[in-house]
Structure 1
């Protein structure tokens, strides 16, 4: 919101510095983003008095002037404007001034005559569009006066960041209320100078509203005999200061009142309205409508239109229609001011990508209680600036009148929430400054009537927040809350948090990068993965269709990470995510069950592309399973079982992991169809592990102690020639199943598979050790021979 300091001072007598005002508004929650000097380009432009004006001796269309600019000797200036004359007060750009467009004024010679400045036209100063001649100023101005001061231009403009809940601050009036509240100043509302004449127009334009929920109020006034032309200088210059392009007196008045009071309005050419009549109703599906910018828009059945007796004439709350636009031939104006449903306007404006100053305000809500005053203010100014007459009476339909809201306020509750004492006088003054009426019949429980412009005050806590805001959030001391804990609870740990940190430290330690994704995803994402619709938790007011449901798997977020990284040229990904899933559960306190999951994703090359690995081999199942096995070993949960699982919705193949009979998760390759939808160029290997199950099993482990071995081991290798289909684990199981004493450990150390052969060589290493003494060779030889003989009998192998 751009706020002119001069404009603000028409409402409140603020005499402080701009910086002080900006700081105070910021501390009230209305952040000052920038102080703008909209007419800083006029710094070198002053008022000049044309002392002498003669025709140029060598150019018929040029004049040679002597201009007094209050700097001693008059300056010689060559001017080509046809209306320059002796005795005029004119704007003069002195040497060194830089005008809009980058023109720097320098001393020069024009057809042999010295020119030490420039007498300027309106467009050359950025004050309008006219270039018919130079600007002629008030003859009472003193030469040398800076032009910005002479014209009383708005030289200080604040750029205020207004939060969406403070719709009342999208106007000069709203920010003036805040200024008056902050500095204890009186607030003066501009009084509409309504001068009416002619017949009553109350029934001239009948108004019908199809749905009161979409349009609570629609009213209008008629101005006859207007002449469309430029608005007064002061209005055009003020609109320029707040970033608006002046168009005509009728349109400029409409914009001026919208910025001043915060209520959008729209002027129709009354003679182009058919009927004349007005109806507010929905569009037909696929209906086309041409807006003021000349663009034809395709509408839906959820878009709200303003109709005359035969056709649509405006896109409600967004933009008017081209067919009833006010133009040079307009003589009679129907001025409309309405209150529309914010959600309807927001939906239409965003779908069409048609953001306007009007839609910005309607989307956040407007003050229905100020509607009549705003209409009268705009109508009076249009009649004054357009030279027309304002007819008495108002055409109005208000099926949903504004109702006074009353909110309770308990000072004891406010003090408890804020942690500071509050005086009755402070609370009373603050609420009154906001426009509230306070009933103090019960000293402990005030009844506060909320004004129509404060749409954000709905509950007691909203009023308490206002008290804190005005008191100063920075003045509320930071005090840690008192936490009551028993002595027994002091040593207890948050095992959920500790386990989460354990998993994250492990993942970072093995080289995985953490992914942090939104808890939201799209229904379409879950459908793509074939996940059941039952148990999903939809989002009531989603940010977008891509985030309209809470996730029931980690896969959508991790796969989206793949798509994003691949789009940025990544060829290798190692990701993990520890997060919660959400399933509808009426029995839960929050109506949703939130289990924890750990996701692991492997994509692309097995190793980073560097010497001595060219990076040609891609990661596969072995890499992913190795990570899972490493994690389980790290948690003290070895001995997991892996079994193929048929019919998984998005993993093919899919392997189910179980630990001690508990299902701990799944791992496998993302199906090709799903991987293609996420723009993957290589196989994606994904695991989702149940972190709650792993935590339960990990915490159930009982720590034990085994004394360290004091005596050296004896290691012997056995190489067996086995059929190709015989697993190495079968050989290890056969050896350990013999129950040979002194045998401490059996591991596989080598595997050789001849190309095209039907048999393979498996080498296993046996470790022998005695806990009380050093072994002798003959003792080991005896046990080792027993193992070799047992293997020949137990398995079809050769040794």
Structure 2
């Protein structure tokens, strides 16, 4: 929102500077983004007086003028404008001036006559597009004054960021209310006097609103005998300063009131309306209208139209129709002031890619209580600036009158929520200065009637937030909330949130870095990994094409993290992410099924550079070890790792099962796919279903047993096995021998010779007896039994 400081001061007697005002508004939640000086480019232009004008001796269209600029001797200036004349007050750019377009004014000779400056047109000054001749200033202007001061231009413009819930601040009036609140100043509304003439015209016209929820208020007023021409200079320059292009007096007035009061208005040429009726109703599927920008719009049954008795005349709340626009020939104007349902306007503007100042405000809600005031302000300006006559009567239909919210406010509740003391007198004063009416019959619980322009104040907590921002968010003391876990909750089931928090603590405790990614990815990311197209949920209005679908797996995001780390020179990536994935589900209330997943990714160096063996790269055993450790962390059975024959993204790919239930996958990203993420070493990924794991964890029962008293004995056995024989198959066979003193089996080394279909696998066997120390002979005997069984049953060599 662009706010003119000079315009604001017409509402509030503010003496603070633009920066001071911006700082106070920022503390109230309306962030100052910039302070603009729209007329800095012409701050050196001065008012001059043309003393003489003579024909140029060597040109038919140039004139030689002497101009008094209040700086000693008059200047000789050669001018080619057709309307320059002696006796005029004109804007003069002196030698050395840099014009808004970048041109530097220099001493020059034009066809032999020296010229010491330039007499300017409005376009050369950047005020309007008019370049038909020089700009002629009022006689009362004083020679030598700066033009910006003489014209009383809006030289300081504040750019204020408005949050979506504060549609009331999208106007000078709205921000003036905030300034009055911040500086405890009175607010003065513009005086509006509508002098109605002629017979009441409302019997000649009717309004129909079939669905009141789409348009709770609609009003028309008629102004006759207008002359369409350029607006007064003060209005044109003010609109220009806040970024609105002046068009004509009638259109400019509607834009002026829009920026001043926040109420969008529209002006129709009355003579182009037919049927004596206006109807606000939904369009028919495929219905068409040509809008003011000359584009034909194809509508849907959810778009709201304004129709006269014969045809569509406007796309409600977005843009008027070309067929009924104001032109230079218009003599009678019908002005519209309305309130539309925000959702309807927002969807139409987005679908038609047709944002406008009007739709921007309607989308956030306009002040229904102030709509009639804005209408009167507009028609009074039309009578003043266009010579029109306001006909008696306003054709009004309000099928759904505004009903103010009346929340309860408790000072004690405000103290509890804010964590600081607030005085009842301060609360009452603040609410009243916000425009609320108070019923303090019950001192403990006030009834607060909120104003029509603050639609965001509907609950007690909203009022408490207002107290906090006026008091100052920075004055709220910093205190850590007390966190207690009562004894009566002991033994209750763990919440899903607590479970996921423990999973994150596990990942951090292992030294992994946690990744936090958007839930959005691109279709091309999912397609790149060959993930199924079924079940994907498209984003209707994606921020970018790279984020146009909800992710069905964590892998695309984690691989993007790998690419980012590689780009920043990190050659050792060890990340985890706990997040939801999404799948379309028509049976769900939200049409989406969400499941929590744990994603793990390892790439490059296994250790930090400060550790020994930093050159070792992460491999399958490392990421499998993380999965096994996680299963142990959840007190689950040892996972089974089953090799998958084929996977679109991973090779090799291993399915992880616990108690016969699949819980996830481990795999190496195929090199041709990993290359897109700039990976030059193997990328290992694991993705586990936390919903299933949580269910298994809840079913797990922890059994306690005494700690071992006697030491273990360990023996290694190396087998030469075909590559088709999985490690898990060998481990399962060893465990299946059910050797009483065998406590554990662990793969500790793997060697794959080149040009062979075999590999060397070294397993460490841990033996222990609970009641005594084992002898070497009995341990060696059991180790030999394992070796012989492997050779006999699995066909390996020792």
Q: How does 1:224-263 map to 2 (within 5 A)?
A: 224-263=224-263
Q: Which residue of 1 aligns with 2:694?
A: 692
Q: CA shift at 1:372, angstroms?
A: 1.2
Name the counterpart of 1:356.
356
Contact 1:732 1:746 in 2 (8 A): no
**Partner of residue 316, structure 1:** 316
Tell me if the contact between 1:218 and 1:397 (Cα under 8 Å) persists in the aligned partners. yes
Write the distance in 2 (CA, Å) between the matches of 1:766 and 1:214: 76
CA contact (8 A) 1:78 1:118 kept: yes
| Correspondences of 1:619-630 after superposition (within 5 Å) | 628-629=627-628
1:633-661 alpha-carbon deviations (Å, 9 max, x no partner): 788878433468999999999966444x4
CA distance, structure 1, for counterparts of residue 782 and residue 410 of structure 2: 87
Cα distance in 1 between the residues matched to 2:425 and 2:542: 42
User: Which residue is equivalent to 2:615?
Assistant: none
Q: How does 1:320-335 map to 2 (within 5 A)?
A: 320-335=320-335
Residue equivalent to 1:137: 137
1:556 is aligned to 2:560 = no
Determine helix, strand or coil for the equivalent of 2:53: strand
1:474 maps to 2:477: no
Judged with a 3 Å threshold, the aligned counterparts in structure 2 of structure 1 residues 326 and 598 are, in CA distance, closer, same or farther, namely same
Pick the structure with greater CA Rg: 1
Moved more, 555-564 or 736-745: 736-745
- Cα offset, 1:288, TM superposition: 1.7
d(CA) in 2 for partners of 1:786 and 1:320?
A: 91
TM-score (norm 2): 0.80
1:441-496 C-alpha deviation (Å, 9 max, x unpaired): 22222222211111111111111211222122222332333455789999xx9886
C-alpha separation between the residues in 2 aligned to 1:21 and 1:726?
73
Q: Cα 1:547–1:220, aligned 2, differ >3 Å: closer, same or farther?
A: farther
What is the distance in 1 between the residues matched to 2:355 and 2:202? 33
Task: Give the aligned partner of residue 454 of structure 2.
Answer: 454
TM-score (norm 1): 0.80
Note if contact 1:64-1:78 (Cα within 8 Å) is conserved in structure 2.
yes
Can you list the C-alpha shifts for 1:702-757, whole angstroms capped at 9, x where unaligned?
587557969xx897867789999898955994699495989997979778999999
- Report the Cα offset of residue 25 of structure 1: 1.4
Preserved contact between residue 218 and residue 337 of structure 2 (Cα < 8 Å): yes
Q: In 2, are the aligned partners of 1:205 and 1:276 still within 8 Å (CA)?
A: yes
Q: In structure 2, do the counterparts of structure 1 residues 415 and 96 end up closer, same or farther at CA, with 3 Å as the change threshold?
A: same
Shift of 1:107: 1.3
**Further displaced range: 60-69 or 101-110:** 60-69
Name 2:639's counterpart in structure 1. 640
Question: Is the alpha carbon distance of 1:630 and 1:220 closer, same or farther for their aligned partners in structure 2, counting shifts above 3 Å?
Answer: same
Secondary structure class of the residue paired with 1:178: helix
Q: CA deviation at 1:623?
A: 8.8
The residue matched to 1:215 in structure 2 has which SS? coil
- The answer on whether the counterparts of 2:554 and 2:687 sit within 8 Å (CA) in structure 1 is no
Does the CA contact (< 8 Å) of 1:575 and 1:601 recur in 2?
yes
Instruction: State how far apart, in whole Å, the 1-side matches of 2:13 and 2:726 are.
Output: 95
Please tell me the root mean square deviation across aligned C-alpha atoms, in Å: 5.3
Q: Does residue 1:502 correspond to 2:495, yes or no?
A: no
CA contact (8 A) 2:290 2:297 kept: yes
Q: For residue 295 of structure 1, what is the aligned residue in structure 2?
A: 295
**Aligned pair in 2 of structure 1 residues 722, 212: CA closer, same or farther (>3 Å)?**
closer
1:507–1:576 CA contact under 8 A, matched in 2: no
**Structure 2: distance between partners of 1:542 and 1:189:** 40
Cross-structure match for 2:588:
none
User: How far apart, CA to CA, are the structure 1 residues paired with 2:720 and 2:60?
Assistant: 116
Structure 1 residue 258: Cα displacement: 0.8
Q: Does 1:413 align with 2:419?
A: no
Aligned position for 1:273: 273
**Range with bigger deviation, 345-354 or 443-452:** 443-452
Measure how far apart 1:670 and its partner are: 12
Instruction: Output the CA distance in 2 between the equivalents of 1:726 and 1:108.
Output: 91
Q: 1:345 to 1:689 in 2, by over 3 A?
A: closer
Q: Which moved more, 1:737-746 or 1:140-149?
A: 737-746
User: For residues 6-405 of structure 1, what are the structure 2 equivalents within 5 Å?
Assistant: 6-405=6-405
1:327-354 per-residue CA deviation (whole Å, 9 max, x = no partner) reads 1111111111111111100110011111
Kept in 2, the 8 Å contact 1:744–1:769? The answer is: no
Query: What do the CA deviations read for 1:666-693 (whole angstroms, capped 9, x no partner)?
Result: 3278999xx9xx9999999763243536
Q: Is the 8 A contact 1:226 1:332 kept in 2?
A: yes
Partner of 2:407, secondary structure, is strand
Q: Give ranges in structure 2 of 5+ residues lacking alignment.
A: 585-591, 607-617
Partner of 2:663: 665
Matching residue of 2:613: none
SS at 2:517 equivalent: coil
**1-structure distance, mates of 2:724, 2:421:** 84
Q: 1:727 to 1:170 in 2, by over 3 A?
A: closer
Tell me, in whole angstroms, the C-alpha distance in 2 between the residues paired with 1:442 and 1:781.
89
| Shift, 1:121, TM fit | 1.6
Cα separation, partners in 2 of 1:95 and 1:483, compared to 1, 3 Å: same
Contact 1:740/1:783 (CA < 8 Å) preserved in 2? no
State the shift of 1:247 in Å.
0.4
Task: Give the Cα–Cα distance (whole angstroms) in 1 for the partners of residues 403 and 720 of structure 2.
Answer: 92
3-state secondary structure, aligned to 1:20: helix
Deviations 1:527-550 (A, max 9, x none): x859999xx9x99x9999999999
Tell me the distance in 2 between the aligned counterparts of 1:27 and 1:203: 51
SS in 2 for 1:364: coil
Quote the residue 1:614 is aligned against.
none
Task: Measure how far apart 1:305 and its partner are.
Answer: 0.3
Q: CA deviation at 1:291?
A: 0.4
1:421-460 matched pairs, under 5 angstroms: 421-460=421-460
Whether the aligned pair in 2 keeps the contact of 1:550 and 1:581 (CA below 8 Å) is no
Question: What is the Cα deviation at residue 507 of structure 1?
Answer: 7.4
Counterpart secondary structure, 2:62? strand
Contact 2:153 2:238 in 1 (8 A): yes
CA distance in 2, matches of 1:719, 1:452: 83
| Structure 2 CA distance for aligned equivalents of residues 687 and 599 of structure 1 | 4
User: 2: CA distance between counterparts of 1:223 and 1:746?
Assistant: 92
Between 663-672 and 472-481, the greater mean CA deviation after superposition: 663-672
Q: Which runs of 5+ in 1 are unaligned?
A: 585-591, 608-618
Aligned length: 764
8 Å CA contact 2:283–2:303 kept in 1: the answer is yes
Instruction: Verify the 8 A CA contact 1:531 1:649 in the aligned structure 2.
Output: no
Confirm or deny: 8 A CA contact 1:654 1:666 kept in the other structure: no
Shift of 1:20: 1.6
* Per-residue deviation, 1:797: 7.7
Query: Are the equivalent residues in 1 in contact too, given 2:555–2:685 (CA < 8 A)?
Result: no
1:514 matched to 2:512? The reply is no
Q: Is the 8 A contact 2:207 2:397 kept in 1?
A: yes
Task: Answer whether contact 1:515 1:575 (CA < 8 A) is retained.
Answer: no
With over 3 angstroms needed to count, the CA separation of the structure-2 counterparts of 1:766 and 1:232, relative to structure 1, is: closer
Q: Is the CA contact (8 Å cut-off) linking 2:742 and 2:765 kept in structure 1?
A: no
User: CA offsets per residue over residues 350-395 of structure 1, 9 Å max, x none?
Assistant: 1111110000110011111111111111112112212221111111
- SS at structure 2 position matched to 1:47: strand
Partners of 1:657 and 1:667 within 8 A in 2: yes
Alpha-carbon distance, 1:556 to partner: 3.4
Please identify, of 92-101 and 207-216, the stretch whose mean Cα deviation from structure 2 is larger: 92-101
Alpha-carbon distance, 1:289 to partner: 1.4
Partner of 2:614: none
